[in-house]
Chain A
């Protein structure tokens, strides 16, 4: 780690990190706010879902129905929108932190100072992860606040389930962020890095979605890291949470390490 670099990068990016965090918090509060209204009509909504083909409901995280706030949040926010927000965050920020600096040339200044490439790469990874943790923490806190505010007594809330849900999402994006970071560390061209990590992340996401919708194509899920984070199963307590999280953590750590090693070893056109 290089502290001056870390501080500078946070100074530049903190506002953007906060925008993501506040946006996400705002959205989750909105979900808690509209839930009571939806719960009243949950009977009819549930029958609507039952009428849909099974795969479609599952794909959009509706299999737990609208009966409980946990099911509602896990399906409606953690099943889709939150994943998109964090995917975009990981892709953009990881590209900005390495590939962009190499492409435009300012990396030359970082490397001309008395530090090593490994330290620079480690610092940039720490900046990405700081942003990710910030967004996830703010979202989690907003979730608790939203429950207390709009639903009722926190004592009735499945807090552990909600924390596991958020921790699962964090680790999923530790992994996705790691993959984007690896690509960013390999690319000399910012646009290429952005396109590649975008295609890979959206690809994984779609594989998971298709696998869920179609029974025949369910094998597709298993090559996607998104299958290791199933909000419905986590809230419904049917997921093997420790295993999924361990795999995500392992994959993510390997991707970050590979990114650092490649960045250390390659010629940079600065």
Chain B
């Protein structure tokens, strides 16, 4: 459906992306994770045919997006990372205009999108808040029911409620067979929607993983408070990785094997459990460090 093959682009300042390769299957939701400046948007700009790759190519539905401009866009919906609209339009005027450029859209579906995202389309765009602009952008990316939807940091600027609405939308469209590529910093959002994800750092893809695999890489810290210190002593013999201990409270590091942790803990009287999830940045660092160690 979408394949990025050995794309290299080095900017004059030496930054850029190197030999980026991955492919997204039909109906798949593919996440694109990486810290700031890693090259997510740069890769997406190649997919959209805005940048000319130094080497390599991108194909969408079999069309080279640099050489065959005009052929592939009809399959694509796009939400830019930094949205800019044409000046002097209202949200509605802009959506009408884009619908015209797309050759017409199902207006019932468009109205439903607007209703679900809850914003007033008649507001002039320059008076819109960041979140509102983001919503206009999301409607523009979804309204013509494209086969592939490319979203560069789709939930930036959305409040938690709207993030939830957005995730529902993605899942519904996915169920209809739409293919997605979305970049994000937000692991929970990727976790809930994606089948696979690529991790990019300093312009290089360091992993393309099944989402379950990524989840298992994510280390969680469970802070368990037991009834007595004696129980803690017994618990610590079970061989789980103990991060720290303080009286009857222990912090257990769990990576992947949650089931075993539950079974071991259940043998004792537990007063309280808190969980601390490792953030995405730490996963990168983990991954990156490990890659660095293996020659």
Q: Would you list which residues of chain A between 254 and 269 have a CB under 8 Å from chain B?
A: 264-269
Q: Given A7, A113, A265, A267, which contacts B50 in the complex, CB threshold below 8 Å?
A: A267
Whether the pair B101, A113 counts as a contact (CB closer than 8 A) is yes
**How far apart sit A34 and B69, CA to CA, in the bound complex (Å)?**
56
A107 CB, min distance to chain B CBs, angstroms: 8
B58 CB, min distance to chain A CBs, angstroms: 13
B152 CB, min distance to chain A CBs, angstroms: 10
Whether the pair A112, B84 counts as a contact (CB closer than 8 A) is no
Whether the pair A115, B51 counts as a contact (CB closer than 8 A) is no
**What residue in chain B is nearest A117 (Cβ atoms)?**
B69
**How far apart sit A264 and B66, CA to CA, in the bound complex (Å)?**
10
Whether the pair A106, B85 counts as a contact (CB closer than 8 A) is yes
- The verdict on B76 contacting chain A, using a C-beta distance below 8 Å, is yes
A112-B73, A112-B76 as given contacts; A105 in contact with B101, CB under 8 Å: no
- The verdict on B140 contacting chain A, using a C-beta distance below 8 Å, is yes
Q: How many residues of B contact A (CB 8 A)?
A: 28
What mask results when residues 1 to 39 of chain A are scored 1 for a CB within 8 Å of chain B, else 0?
Answer: 010110110001000000000000000000000000000
Contacting residues, chain B, for A8 (C-beta < 8 A): 86, 97, 100
Contacting residues, chain A, for B284 (C-beta < 8 A): none
**How far apart sit A268 and B48, CA to CA, in the bound complex (Å)?**
11
Contacting residues, chain B, for A266 (C-beta < 8 A): 52
**How far apart sit A117 and B82, CA to CA, in the bound complex (Å)?**
20
**What residue in chain B is nearest A270 (Cβ atoms)?**
B50
**How far apart sit A116 and B66, CA to CA, in the bound complex (Å)?**
11
Whether the pair A114, B74 counts as a contact (CB closer than 8 A) is yes
**How far apart sit A264 and B49, CA to CA, in the bound complex (Å)?**
11
Whether the pair A112, B48 counts as a contact (CB closer than 8 A) is yes
**How far apart sit A267 and B85, CA to CA, in the bound complex (Å)?**
20
Q: Given A2, A101, A270, which contacts B80 in the complex, CB threshold below 8 Å?
A: A270
Contacting residues, chain B, for A2 (C-beta < 8 A): 101
A115-B101, A266-B52 as given contacts; A108 in contact with B78, CB under 8 Å: yes
- The verdict on B88 contacting chain A, using a C-beta distance below 8 Å, is yes
**How far apart sit A129 and B73, CA to CA, in the bound complex (Å)?**
28
Contacting residues, chain B, for A218 (C-beta < 8 A): none
- 7 residue pairs of the A-B complex, CB under 8 angstroms, read A8-B86, A104-B84, A110-B101, A112-B73, A114-B70, A114-B103, A117-B69
Which A positions have Cβ atoms within 8 angstroms of B?
2, 4-5, 7-8, 12, 101, 104-106, 108-117, 119, 264-270
Which B positions have Cβ atoms within 8 angstroms of A?
45, 48-52, 69-70, 73-74, 76, 78, 80, 82-89, 97-98, 100-103, 140
- In the complex, besides A114-B101, A268-B50, 17 extra interface pairs with C-beta distance below 8 angstroms are A4-B101, A12-B86, A108-B50, A109-B98, A111-B48, A111-B49, A112-B78, A113-B98, A113-B102, A114-B73, A114-B74, A116-B70, A119-B70, A265-B52, A269-B50, A269-B51, A270-B50
